[in-house]
Every structure is written in C-alpha cells, then in structure tokens.
Amino acid sequence: MRQFQLDLPDSYNVSEILFNNLEAGRGDKVAIYCGDEKLSYGELAEMASSVGRGLQDLGLEPGARVLMLLLDAPAFPATFFGSIRAGYLPIPANTVLQPDDYSYFLQDSAAQAVVVDGSLYPQIEKITSNCPALKHIIVVEGEGAAGTLDWATWLAGANTDLDPAQTNKDDPAFLLYSSGSTGFPKGVIHLQHDIPYTVETYAKQVLRIKEEDITFSASKAFHAYGLGNNVTFPYSVGASTVLFPGRPTPQAAFEHVERYHPTLFFAVPTLYATMLATDVGNNIDFKTVRNCVSAAEALPPEVYRQWHARFNLEILDGIGSTEMLHIFMSNRPGQVKPGSSGVLVPGYDTKILDVVGTSVEVGDSGDLFVKGGSAAPYYWNRPEKTKHTMRGDWLFTGDRYYQDEDGFFYYAGRSDDMLKVGGQWVSPIEVENTLLEHSAVLESAVVAARDEANLQRTKAFVVLHQGYRGSAELAKELQEFVKSRIAPYKYPRLVDFVEELPKTATGKIQRFRLRQE
C-alpha cells in the first residue's frame, strides 16, 4: 500500500465537511445549483442545523437511524449532514424502488424517522403499519397523511444553532444499502472517518478537486458513487455542485452541462453509451469539463473511444463499491488504458488470489481483495455475510480481475459470473465488450444458460441501436463477429434480442435476473 496517513482528531464528526466552509469564509459562496435555485454554504449549513435540531426535538434516541427517501435537491445534503451532526445515522435510499423494499429497509434498520420527498410519499404511506419502530415522517414539498410533518413548517420551528455530537472518528456515521446487483440489498455501515479518507485519496489525488470546481453527477446521491461526486467531495473543498432531482436521461445530462458549465462530470457506462447514441448532444460544448468519470460498472473500450472521438475528452474509469465508499482504483488524466480500471489510488492496496488463496501471475485473473481506510467494518444485522466479505484488513470484492505488466487492472466479471464452457473459463465482460464493437449493438449482457442438451453455454442478451431489428441472420453475424476478434470458443452460442436489460438504479446490469429467465 502506498503510505497514506489521515490526520483527524479522535473526537470528530463528519458533518464538519460542510460546516468548515463557514470558518473558511465561504458562507456566501454558492454551494448548490438546482434548477433556478441557488443555495449558499451559509444557507445550507443553517438548513442542516435545523434538520438536526428538529430531529432532536422529536425525541429520537441517540444513534437512531433516519431513512432518507429524497431526490437530488438541497434537502438531501441538509438531511444527511444534519442527521450526522445531531448524532443520528442517515440512510440514503434508492428512490426508484417499491414499497416492499422500503418496508425491508425500515424493518431491518429499525429507523425511527423518515424524511421523504412529497412525490415519493405514497411509497411510504403504504407500508407504515408494517414498521413498528417508525415514529415520525417528514414530507418535503408535498402533502402527507394526518400525523406527518411538513418539512418547511418543521424546519421553521427548529433552532438553527447546533453543535456537533461528540462522536469519535471511528464511530458509525451513516448506513447505505447495497444496490443489489447480485441479490437482496445489505446494509453497509460507514464510520465518521470514511468520507475524509475518500476525499484525501481519490478526490484530491486523482480528481485534484479544488474550490473553483463545479461538479455534476448524473449518478444520484443515494448511491455511494454519487454521494462522493456531488456531496462530500465538492463540500470538502468549498466547490459548487449541480443537483438535479429528475431522471438522468441523455437529454437532461446534456442540458445540465450546457446550462451550468461543470468542470467535473460523473456518470455510469450506460449513460455514456446512451448519450453517444442520441443526436441531442451534437452541438453541446464540453469545453468547461476537465474530467469525465465513470464507475459502478466497467466502461467498455468502444464507449471510451467513441466518447473521446466525439468530445475530445478522456473518461477516467475506475472501480469502487458501497463497502469501500468510493473509487479505490482508477485511470488518471493523461494515463488511460481503455478497457482497464486503471491503477491503485494512493492509500489503497489490493491482491488477486486464485481459488486456493495463492496470488496469481501477471495476466491471470482471480478474486480481487482490497484494503484501505474507507472500508466498511461490517454489514448491519448480517454477521455471516460480514465474515464472508470483511476478512481482517481485507475486503473480498466479489469481482474477478487481472493485472497487466504496467500495473493496470482489468475487470473480468463477478466471481459468480465467470463461465466455464467446454472446460475453459470465459469472462462475460470480454464477450460483452466485443459485441459492443459491432455497429448494431447498443448494450449487451452475457450469462450462462443451458442448451437443448442441458450443456452450459454462453448466452448474450442484446439491445440493438435504433433502426436495427433482431433476426437469426443478425444473431449469426454477431457470433461470427465475436469469433473474429477474440478466442473463438468464447463466442455466445445463444443470442436473445431484448428491448432493455435489467439494471440497478445505478446502471449495473443485474445478470442474476437474466440467469433466472
């Protein structure tokens, strides 16, 4: 591991990430652009203090969990930092799930309060009777049922003077539920020092984020990736951020780049691909953007090449996880290898092991382990899963990787996604990336399937570009295309044309759902 020392006092509350901007004289500086609204650091800190005092006035127990079902708007960072400052654990939740999912979050975490956007309140209203620990529901910009609290009225009655709770740097600070790309979500606990660690490593040493930056993350703040991109990273240096509560469509992304002129743009591979597939952005100027960043899933080399050709901008692809909080391995400006996840971020270490726990040779793939100061210590209420994933100082990522001679890392699929066909291992990522090089293919996902003889084969689910139609002839053409570019045994024996692929809200393909079809 490259030597890295995080200098924090033992008594530390991570809400200082926001409030330190007042001491730095940035009280009048714009912290948030959201639609036509501008919010200064002073106004945001006052709102966060009111949230924290308001929660205390409700009589929540010390360390109580507060579920956040909020869109990307000022209420999100105010609730996140206000809860932590008051000594509670906020839980930013995915905003596109179903009532049963929120019932699970509430029951599993025993959250005592929910702060919910008015447009999402019906999702909570349906399940409150199933959540005995839930005592208070605060509704932002909307009407709730009798017994709920109106956000504006609630804040107006709260004191804006709030000292930080006396927490230790190693105390729990917040909880994130994993995106569920391989099954049902797990509650991931993060500590007070985890955010500063990601700031001092990835944000400052790779992005080189500074006060003059304007960040725009199409990936939402409820996800660990978006939380860093558009909340903790910019506030750590007094930068400004663009919050967008709507759906991250290609058109919306282009419009926000054109309107706010961000310097750092964050998205997932799926959005980069769909932005390239539309003509909406033909006249959009990205000249203010100095770094484009991708994470959540491996960026296909073809998407990188097309983006660079169209906008003359690199995409810094990297790998992170909810458990590690943000990116721990990344390409660097001027040092990009398309198709790779880059090199280690200072402050982190990795090892790649085979099935018997031996380090693999350069070029060979194996299970990726990572360690660093932002690693989650445990899963909430999941001791067996904790033992499986958190192995001493090392975290088992569940990803398979290999490293080249230059030290760059390459994603080879999830550990449970690797396919063995005809006695030989096949990486679904390699096949998917090859399919994407064909002009007809917009997206693809490769999984294991059984043929008529009940033999395991590779099956490709393919989404086509507009203007193409699936057919037996096109399926054969795609198979031959793959054979001509990688080892022939890796070609997909079965091809299924579909309208869309199942994904998490953060853009990860849910291959386990495809395997069930």
In this prediction the pTM is 0.84
Q: Is-contact 414 399, C-beta < 8 A?
A: yes
What's the topology of domain 417-516? Answer: GMP Synthetase; Chain A, domain 3 (3.30.300)
The answer, yes or no, to whether residue 5 has pLDDT greater than 50, is: yes
Q: Is-contact 465 440, C-beta < 8 A?
A: yes
Most confident of 34-38, 430-434, 499-503: 34-38
pLDDT at position 516 = 57
String of b and e for 478-502 (b: at least 16 CB within 10 Å)? bbebbeebeeeebbbbbbebbeebb
| Integer Cα distance of 432 and 441 in angstroms | 10
Q: Is-contact 437 445, C-beta < 8 A?
A: no
Most confident of 2-16, 263-277, 332-346, 497-511: 332-346
pLDDT in tens, 104-163: 999 999 999 999 999 999 999 989 988 999 999 999 998 888 889 999 999 999 999 999
| Integer Cα distance of 14 and 191 in angstroms | 9
Q: Which of 443, 445, 440, 415 is nearest to 428 (CA)?
A: 445
Instruction: Tell me what percent of the residues of the chain surpass a pLDDT of 90.
Output: 79
Any idea which residue has 């939740």 for tokens?
A: 93
pLDDT confidence of 295, banded at 50, 70, 90? very high
What ranges do the domains of the chain cover? 417-516
Pairing type for strands 409-414 and 419-421 reads unpaired
Mean pLDDT of 408-422: 77
In the beta sheet, which residues pair with residue 150? Answer: 139
The answer, yes or no, to whether residue 429 has pLDDT greater than 60, is: yes
pLDDT in tens, 225-236: 999 999 999 999
Lowest mean pLDDT among 11-15, 350-354, 453-457: 453-457
| Integer Cα distance of 91 and 111 in angstroms | 9
The answer, yes or no, to whether residue 181 has pLDDT greater than 50, is: no
pLDDT in tens, 452-493: 655 567 899 999 999 999 999 999 999 999 999 887 878 999
Q: What is the number of helices (H) and of strands (E) in the chain?
A: 17, 26
What are the strands of the beta sheet with 494-497, ordered from one edge?
441-450, 456-464, 494-497
CA distances from residue 209 to 81, 119, 230, 239 in whole angstroms, order as listed: 20, 34, 12, 8
pLDDT confidence of 1, banded at 50, 70, 90? very low
